[in-house]
Amino acid sequence: MVLESGPASRDRNYWLIVLTMCVGFCVYFIYDWQVGYPAANRKSGTEWLQQNIPGAQVTEEMFDERPSKEMFEALRLAPPTRPDEVHERLGGPPALRRQNGPDELVEYFPSLYGCALVTIRGGVVAANMEWRDWKYPRNKIDGQFHFAILTGVLSLYFLYRVYKAATLRAVIDDTGMTFGGRRIPFDAMRSLRDYSPKGWVDLYYNVGAGDVRLRIDREKILKFTEIIDRLCEARGFPHPIREFEAKKAATEAS
């Protein structure tokens, strides 16, 4: 008589929980990368600009990708003298200006990641240029993207594990066993041993010149005990579960 068994629910449910958590983290990182962190930067940038520039009209369009901190560092390392050179190298004219006196003007170049401050005295760019990061610098925003990629790849792996756990099948017929798509004739089976009270036993079978181990796990296959019974009956193996229970009873009795 043919014995057929589907998967046990515990292994499938375990990987399903892990998959759900990983997908949740992936969505969380994507949200922070695309929405959460940029919104926090626009908020902190708006507050800082309004505090430092009386009457400033700060708009969302000011928080673009440019200028970046890298663009500012390149400007600082090779400082220009004319304001138009600054505008050209930072991607355009300043979004905001503040007059500090008759001869001093501070130009503000905000972006999504921070703000470049350039002081002009007497029409000449001063050396004390400054960059101010918003709440989340670019490396932290990019870090959320990298975490999203990592958890996305892990989610694909865990999805594969869910699929494998949910589609596991074992079939024992008159000539052998097919377990998870692997066909093992009775003649190739060498031993069934190393039973663990955690719920698994190892089947050793011959492939070519050596033996291969197949672990049969109670948490993965539904009819675990019936499969062990049938293999022992077909091959005459000592029953590993009964041997373990007999040794345990003898130890407790002594």
CATH number at residue 82: 3.30.1450
Express each pLDDT in 178-228 by its tens digit: 999 999 999 999 999 999 999 999 999 999 888 999 999 999 999 999 999
Q: Is residue 12 part of a domain?
A: no
Domain that holds residue 88: 55-136
Residues 65 and 121 in one domain: yes
Express each pLDDT in 243-253 by its tens digit: 999 888 888 88
Whole-number pLDDT of residue 220: 95
Q: Is residue 230 part of a domain?
A: yes
Total domains present in the chain: 2
Residue 38 pLDDT greater than 90, yes or no: yes
Question: Are 49 and 34 within 8 A, CB to CB?
Answer: no
Q: Is residue 89 part of a domain?
A: yes
Instruction: Assign 94 a pLDDT band (cuts: 50, 70, 90).
Output: confident
| For the chain, percent of residues with pLDDT exceeding 90 | 75
Residues 185 and 231 in one domain: yes
Q: Is residue 14 part of a domain?
A: no
At a CB cut-off of 8 Å and minimum separation 6, what does 250 contact?
none
**Residue 248 half-sphere exposure, CB side, CA atoms within 13 Å?**
9
Residues 121 and 177 in one domain: no
Q: Is residue 193 part of a domain?
A: yes
Q: Is residue 69 part of a domain?
A: yes
Largest CA distance in the chain: 102
Q: List the one residue out of 153, 240, 249 whose CA is nearest residue 197.
A: 240
- Strand residue runs (E) in the chain: 3-5, 96-101, 104-110, 114-121, 124-125, 130-133, 170-172, 176-179, 182-185, 189-196, 200-207, 210-217
What integer is the mean pLDDT of 80-102?
Answer: 87
Q: Is residue 204 part of a domain?
A: yes
Residues 174 and 114 in one domain: no
**What's the CATH number where 176 sits?**
2.30.29
Which of 136, 158, 187 is the last residue before a domain boundary? 136
Q: Is residue 60 part of a domain?
A: yes
Residue 5 pLDDT greater than 90, yes or no: yes
Residues 122 and 181 in one domain: no
Residues 182 and 229 in one domain: yes
